[in-house]
Amino acid sequence: MGSWTTQNDARQRRLAAGGQFAQGKAVAVDKLTSFLEAVIHPGDRVCLEGDNQKQAQVLAQGLVGVDPQKVHDLHMVQSGIVLPEHLDLYERGIARKLDYSYSGPQSRRITTMLADGKIELGAVHTYLELFARYFIDLTPNIALIAAVCADKHGNLYTGPNTEDTPTIVEATAFKGGLVIAQVEKIVDSVPRVDIPGDRVHFVVETGKPFYVEPLFTRDPALITETQILCAMLAIKGIYAPYQVQRINHGIGFSTAAIELLLPTYGEALGLKGKICTHWALNPHPTLIPAIEAGWVQQIHSFGSEVGMENYMAARPDVYFTGADGSLRSNRAFCQTAGLYACDIFIGSTLQIDLQGNSSTVTATRTAGFGGAPNMGSDPHGRRHPSTPWLKAGEEANPDMAPALRRGRKLVVQIGETFGDKNTSLFVENLDAILLADKLKLELAPVMIYADDVTHIVTEEGIANLLLCRSSAEREQAIRGVAGYTELGRGRDAALVDQLRQRRVIQRPEDLGIDLLDADRRWLAARSVKDLMVASGGLYNPPSKFRNW
């Protein structure tokens, strides 16, 4: 019989080898590359954090610098491919295989590298799905993570950007793996313990903060009147009748418009306290006016947002905060909350086909999934009822016995019929299919599948797909809100008219919304500066958003 402790034994060897470069747990940054060569073995599964927002960029640079003769064939399992270094690892022959979730800023380069066979792709995941696999078949041997500061015992303070760190560390540290953290500073005592020191084996003091990008900031000045109209449709035609209180918003100007219309248009409709009270949401600055107007009871966040730190610290009744006063985010729990505790997901997309499949990929860019497919799916494992969920279920299956009829999650896709560069939102075939073909993927990277989407909102109206009783009706319902796009013009006018009679399609006028009323007056803030003012000066926008 062989050994049952090979992983712990390997960790002991790594600790001894790494200890040569360390004082206690502290590794000097100038020894980083030699240290990594000593502790990482060829073929290791490595999580280089690599989140949606924060990046362990010094460790990434250190890893890119190792000798590929010594460290090679790494299998990277990380949620975000964000920094150039994340892909340089493959160019340099250090890493070979990749399992990931999101690659926004690197979406073009990763597509080329995948097509050229420079990266062996495991799969593209949602965040929660990749985290799940950390505990089953993609457990890291090495975690390279980022925090704000550490004490000499390795206790870590992540500050507001806790994000993926607890999940990565739990999977690695409790399965014989090695956890290495970059921190700006080693201090006597951390403001709060985000990660206990006995799960952290080495700490690299870098003298600078980890890299973080303001991903969820949208300038109200760039919101169009069409987006305002769509927001009015969503609030009056979906949020109000379904009474959605527990909500998740995707990223984009359409949802930013909704956020900015709550305390104005929503208020005028008498909806305060009735909708949008509980959120799974990144700290969107565009939600500040609604929060200040008392609309929001509680928000749990996936991550933080640059500039929102002081505002959130001053609003602990709304945000989750720690003993130190600052935000505590947690992507795994917030994704779980979005999946199982929210009644609606609403987000933008780039392409929708005639059955309602949607995708944000184009043939040259594979941005990955992030969290949207998880939040934008109907969770069959849900068992607790709520008003919106039951109403949606009844619309979908009116003839089923109520006791055996599950509810449905509301999954809404919102967008202008003609988007960026005047391209049509509605397409015969998703570019995702072309991309799957090009990259020889087993599945096209569909963001939201047709069987999960319940509503499509454009400036022409709302298509309620729950009320469609056939594939043909579904197609006409989608064509019926596709405006002057080619697919919109291809509608069967008589059928679309019938669908409108049945309220499968609702036009602005059907909802008593005057097109002329859809203007910027409704925006509770019309600029980033307005948001700052609305926050009482607590919101501190990043310089790239300061144009005053």
Whether the CB-CB separation of 516 and 241 falls below 8 Å is answered with no
- When asked if residue 363 is in the footprint of its own copies (CB under 8 A), the reply is no
Looking at 22-30, 37-45, 315-323, 540-548, which segment touches its own copies (CB under 8 A)?
A: 315-323
Select the residue interacting with its own copies from 266, 303, 356, 379 (CB under 8 A).
Answer: 379
By the rule CB under 8 A, 485 interacts with its own copies: no
Q: Which is nearer to its own copies, 52 or 374 (CB)?
A: 374
Told to check if 196 binds its own copies by CB under 8 A, we report: yes
Residue 324: other Cβ atoms inside 10 A: 15
- The answer to the question of residue 323 lying near its own copies (CB under 8 A) is yes
Tokens of 219: 């300038």
Which one of the spans 338-346, 464-472, 477-485, 515-523 is the region binding its own copies (CB under 8 A)? 338-346
Write down the least CB distance from residue 406 to its own copies, Å.
6
Segment lying near its own copies (by CB under 8 A), choices 225-233, 435-443, 513-521, 523-531: 435-443
Q: Does 334 bind its own copies (CB under 8 A)?
A: yes
Question: What is the closest distance, in whole angstroms, from the C-beta atom of residue 132 to its own copies in the complex?
Answer: 4
Q: What are phi and psi of 298, to 5 degrees?
A: -160, 140
The structure tokens listed for 413 are 């896709």
Tokens of 339: 């999946």
Least Å from the CB of residue 402 to its own copies: 8
SS (H, E, C) 188-210: CCCCCCCECHHHCCEEEECCCCC
List, in order, residues 6 or more apart from 24 with CB less than 8 Å away: 152
* Count of residues near its own copies by CB under 8 A: 98
Q: Does 75 bind its own copies (CB under 8 A)?
A: no
- Residue 40 in contact with residue 206, Cβ under 8 Å? no
Options 15-23, 27-35, 327-335, 482-490: segment touching its own copies (CB under 8 A) = 327-335
Is 304 among the residues that bind its own copies (CB under 8 A)?
no
Q: What's the gap between Cα 43 and its chain centre?
A: 29
Burial class (CB in 10 A: 0-12, 13-18, 19+), 218: buried
**Cβ atoms within 10 A of the Cβ of 6, count?**
10
CB of 84 to its own copies, least distance (A): 25
Report d(CA 65, CA 78) in Å as an integer: 19
442-471 residues in contact with its own copies (CB under 8 A) are 442-446, 449, 451-452
The crossing angle, in degrees rounded to 10, of helices 32-39 and 6-19 is 160
Residues numbered 44 to 73 that lie near its own copies (CB under 8 A) are: none
Q: Least distance in Å: CB of 496 to its own copies?
A: 25
CB of 302 to its own copies, least distance (A): 11
Contact flag: residue 314 with its own copies (CB under 8 A): yes
Residue 287 touching its own copies (CB under 8 A) = no
- Site membership for its own copies, residue 188 (CB under 8 A): no
Contacts for 376 with CB less than 8 Å, ≥ 6 apart: 250, 345, 347, 411, 447, 448, 452, 453
SS3 22: strand
In the range 2-21, which residues lie near its own copies by CB under 8 A?
3-8
Between 175 and 500, name the residue whose CB sits nearer to its own copies: 175
Q: Which of 54, 72, 86, 328 binds its own copies (CB under 8 A)?
A: 328
Check residue 340 for interaction with its own copies (CB under 8 A). Answer: yes
Sites for its own copies among residues 405-434 (CB under 8 A):
405-407, 432-433
Q: Which of 18, 80, 159, 197 binds its own copies (CB under 8 A)?
A: 197
Structure tokens at 101: 């979730």
Instruction: Give the ranges where 306-438 is alpha helix by DSSP (H).
Output: 309-313, 331-340, 372-375, 387-396, 431-438
DSSP 8-state secondary structure symbol assigned to residue 215: T
- Residue 359's DSSP bridge partners are 351
Binding mask 110-139 for its own copies (x = CB under 8 A): ------------xxxxx-xx-xxx-xxx-x
